Amino acid sequence: MSILQFPPGFRWGTATSSFQIEGAAELRADSIWDEFCRVPGAIADGSDGRVAVDHYHRYAEDVALMASLGMDTYRFSVSWPRVLRPDGSADPAGMGFYDALVDALCAAGIRPWLTLYHWDLPAWLPGGWTNRATAEAFADYALRLHGVLGDRVRVWTTLNEPWCASFLSYAGGHHAPGHTDPAEAYAAAHHLLLGHGLAIRALRAADPDATLGLTLNFTPAYPADPDDAADADVVRRIDGTAHRIFTDPVFRGEYPADVVADAGAAWPSELVREGDLALIAAPIDVLGVNYYTSQLIRAGEPSAQPTPHPAAPDAVTVDRDWLGRTDIGWEVTPDAFRELLIGLHRDYTGPAGIPLAITENGAAIDDPDPASGPIEDRERIDYLHRHLTAVHEAIEVGARVDTYLLWSLIDNFEWAFGYTKRFGVVAVDEALNRVPKASARWYSELIRTSTLCLPEQA
């Protein structure tokens, strides 16, 4: 048995998001996800977030559960339409909910890590993220929430996965609002980044000591044949709209020229105004990384179907049959995680002098029903084990990573998959009781020791 020790001060926790767990939808206005759930066929099991796992009413129990598992940090998101009303006034009950949640976390010794935007955009904002005014509204929301929670919440993430909130939502049609227009996706991406920049400026002015950042999702793409120019080029284009369109403005103050060129006529004229990039590039204190899988890509015939990769309609995913897959179909590729962290540190966060935090990583596993007895989710533990080994390897060779937040604390509403995919280390039974899985006990022990035990290689 060999042992991997994480550095002193390394922080551990779990992550969730408002729409996926809270429920109590009748106590707030609609978000675009409420509307999307009403579209026939949009959600695999026809479900919605009206009750979810009822965290709104059971938050105290959930905080106690986290405390019993020894969690250090809890990353949650705030539902914008719960705390602000369509007329712009604050909703006292909504604000009060997060006030109480944060109080409970602090009382339990758990550090609150707040994400301002995890996709549940108020439905009343005209045009959603295609409208520049939404970026301004976002900064206003950020500041008002900070006024209530800023004394206790010291880590603020502006956006969760702007790629999903733009390309997957406005070009691919898979997420709310379910549109399939590449020009809308480029506009949404820019306005999300602008909202990030405006919120950073507002929060920094209000609270210079706060830790501020954003979370991006990375799905590294590799060419099926690295010596094939067409494969290499389609991978470059996917990497452009999935990753570099976000990292480069934030860390370098510019959109990559190839990304803008590839967008062609789909890049809206006059989208980027003077001063926008300077705002977007304002220094941040941490980059959140969400990682689940990677993909092998080859160039094929251009498809006419809507795609979340509008610059790469010719991309074809090549199945790697030799790799395991989680229940959501994602290949298990921990080596790509290690390489990603090393690359991000080298190219972006290292030069910026800031750390990386893993803000999501986890596995969907087809767990048995909690009614049938204890859930021994060995596959999830194996996934986590392998990915944490990758994080440790990246740290060993110099990548600065200081936090790991597992997705997710609890089984929840997995967006277009509804409740069919389970990512939690805690299950939820029919009566919405919380039932920790074997992975919860495993993770708790890992947190206690900050040590990963590796079986001896045969």
Cβ-contact 375, 419 below 8 angstroms: no
Report d(CA 48, CA 425) in Å as an integer. Answer: 21
Q: First CA to last CA across the chain, in angstroms?
A: 11
Q: Which stretch binds ligand FCB (CB under 6 A): 107-115, 156-164, 196-204, 429-437?
A: 156-164
Paired residues of 458 in beta bridges: none
**Cβ 359 to ligand FCB, closest distance in Å?**
9
DSSP, collapsed to helix, strand or coil, labels residue 74 as strand
Task: Tell me the site size for ligand FCB, rule CB under 6 A.
Answer: 12
Percent helix, strand and coil across the chain, each to the nearest 5:
45, 20, 40
Site for ligand FCB in 18-37 (CB under 6 A): 20
Site for ligand FCB in 107-146 (CB under 6 A): none
Question: For ligand FCB, what does the binding mask look like between residues 234 and 263, x meaning CB under 6 A?
Answer: ------------------------------
**Cβ 207 to ligand FCB, closest distance in Å?**
25
Report d(CA 413, CA 21) in Å as an integer. Answer: 7
**Cβ 42 to ligand FCB, closest distance in Å?**
15
Specify the residue, 326 or 444, whose C-beta has the smaller distance to ligand FCB.
326
Q: Which residue has the tokens 């954003």?
A: 214
Q: Which residues contact 49 (CB under 8 A, 6 or more apart)?
A: 19, 20, 22, 23, 25, 33, 34, 37, 413
Cβ-contact 284, 256 below 8 angstroms: no
Specify the residue, 189 or 395, whose C-beta has the smaller distance to ligand FCB.
189
Question: ω before 444 within 30° of 0 (cis)?
Answer: no
For position 160 contacting ligand FCB by CB under 6 A, the verdict is yes
Binds ligand FCB by CB under 6 A, chosen from 415, 424, 443, 447: 415
For position 17 contacting ligand FCB by CB under 6 A, the verdict is yes
Specify the residue, 224 or 388, whose C-beta has the smaller distance to ligand FCB.
388
Binds ligand FCB by CB under 6 A, chosen from 217, 219, 241, 403: 217
Specify the residue, 6 or 36, whose C-beta has the smaller distance to ligand FCB.
36
Cβ-contact 256, 169 below 8 angstroms: no
Binds ligand FCB by CB under 6 A, chosen from 83, 281, 414, 444: 414
Among residues 184, 331, 360, 379, the one annotated as catalytic is: 360
For position 360 contacting ligand FCB by CB under 6 A, the verdict is yes
Site for ligand FCB in 383-412 (CB under 6 A): 407
Closest of 174, 315, 291, 157 to residue 240, by C-alpha: 315
Q: Which stretch binds ligand FCB (CB under 6 A): 157-165, 248-256, 260-268, 270-278?
A: 157-165
418 conformational bin, left if phi > 0, alpha if psi -120 to 50, beta if neither: left
Q: Decide if 360 is catalytic.
A: yes
Among residues 22, 161, 184, 331, the one annotated as catalytic is: 161
The strand pair at 426-428 and 434-436 is best described as antiparallel
**Cβ 269 to ligand FCB, closest distance in Å?**
31
**Cβ 423 to ligand FCB, closest distance in Å?**
5
DSSP, residue by residue, 140-180: HHHHHHHHHHTTT--EEEEEE-HHIIIIIIIIS-SSTT---
Report d(CA 222, CA 61) in Å as an integer. Answer: 43
Site for ligand FCB in 300-359 (CB under 6 A): none
Identify the H or E element spanning 187: helix 182-206
Work out the number of other CB atoms within 10 angstroms of the CB of residue 88. Answer: 11
Q: Decide if 26 is catalytic.
A: no
Q: Which two three-digit tokens encode residue 70?
A: 């020894």
Question: For ligand FCB, what does the binding mask look like between residues 36 and 75, x meaning CB under 6 A?
Answer: ----------------------------------------
- Length reported for the chain: 458
Binds ligand FCB by CB under 6 A, chosen from 423, 425, 428, 434: 423
Specify the residue, 77 or 307, whose C-beta has the smaller distance to ligand FCB.
77
Catalytic residues, which ones? 161, 360
State the residues that interact with ligand FCB by CB under 6 A.
17, 20, 160-161, 164, 217, 290, 360, 407, 414-415, 423
